[in-house]
Amino acid sequence: MSELSHVDREGRARMVDVSAKSDSTRVAVAAGELRTTAEVIALVRADDMPKADVLSTARIAGISGAKKTSELIPLCHQLALSSVTVEFGFTETSITIEASAKTKGPTGVEMEALTAVAVAGLTLHDMVKAVDPAATIDGVRLLTKDGGKHGHWERPETEDSPAAPAPVHVRPADPDAAIRTAAVVVASTGVAAGTRADTTGPVLIEWLAGLGYSVRGPLVYADADITVGLADALHLSPSLVVTTGGTGASPTDATPEATLSVIDRELPGVAEAIRQRGTAKFPLAALSRGVAGLAGSSVVVNLPGSPGGVKDGIAVLEPLLDHLLAQVAGGGSHDNP
């Protein structure tokens, strides 16, 4: 029979001793939603609430809440968080919330991700209560966690479980337009450690957002943790995952191997086209081992970790994406123009 870890043999509350556990990269993703009215949704999407800048305020509150989890939840350990993200999406009558937390240490970050969702939801409630005092915060739950001796855990899907939200990086120009989802993963030990600036992830975010995608990221992981990063990017089954970095011949470059372990089918022509475009201007681009393929219904593409390599990848991908994603979804013409 399982035991409650925070209760000792005498039934008293305790903080779990994690000193014997080894450090590992740990990631947790949680979700929830604010249920409200269609009027509130329209006002928030138009940024026309009495308390302006609703989503930005809630995002900052959620990140701050994650950082203060050990102060709010009595038995939680103090953790050095390396990343916290809070993203929002919309349904007709709700604002969905998704938060991810990441650390490298001896214990998990589930509570940090859950606290980020809860605090972001409470802040949303505060922002909208003048219009809808009956708004409710529902479905705060853990979606996935990675790291530690138990590895990957994913919430089982049941009929009673609320659907996972589709996080939104930018608001689309047409609220009624269908939105494809994407995730950007940066493989860089330096960026993950805070010793280097991320010069490629933001470029990809801006490009995809400009095409109308709902984008998660940049999700930054050390080269050694890129497998965890791909699992994080794929857990919501986005239409597209673009990675940048870790494609070279260095002993630490592991992105192609991690990608091959998750894809079902390769798209060799896409990877080769990106390589050829780079090589035409910079011969060393031929050393990139990036691959592309399909992981279920998601297209995964590796790009080099340089601004020039990302620029070449964008140039190759942009004219292909609509047709490629339509084919993956079961549509799209197979005829040559």
Whose tokens are 């070449």? That residue is 312
Runs of H (alpha helix) within 172-306: 189-193, 201-210, 226-234, 255-260, 268-281
Backbone angles phi and psi of 299, in degrees to 5:
-90, 130
Q: How many secondary structure helices (H) and strands (E) does the chain include? A: 10, 11
Residue 255 DSSP SS3: helix
Backbone angles phi and psi of 187, in degrees to 5:
-100, 100
Q: Give 266's contacts (C-beta < 8 A, 6+ positions apart).
A: 260, 291, 292, 293
Q: Could you tell me the end-to-end alpha-carbon distance of the chain, in angstroms, rounded to an integer?
A: 64
Catalytically annotated residues: 126
Residue 98 DSSP SS3: strand
C-alpha atoms less than 13 angstroms from C-alpha of 21 in its C-beta half-sphere: 16
Q: Token pair of 211, please?
A: 């095409």
Q: How many CB atoms lie within 10 A of CB 7?
A: 12
Q: Is residue 246 within 8 Å of 255, Cβ to Cβ?
A: yes
Residue 304 DSSP SS3: coil
Where are the strands (E) in 58-129, listed by range? Answer: 81-90, 94-105
Give the residue from 317, 313, 266 showing the smallest Cα distance to 285. 313
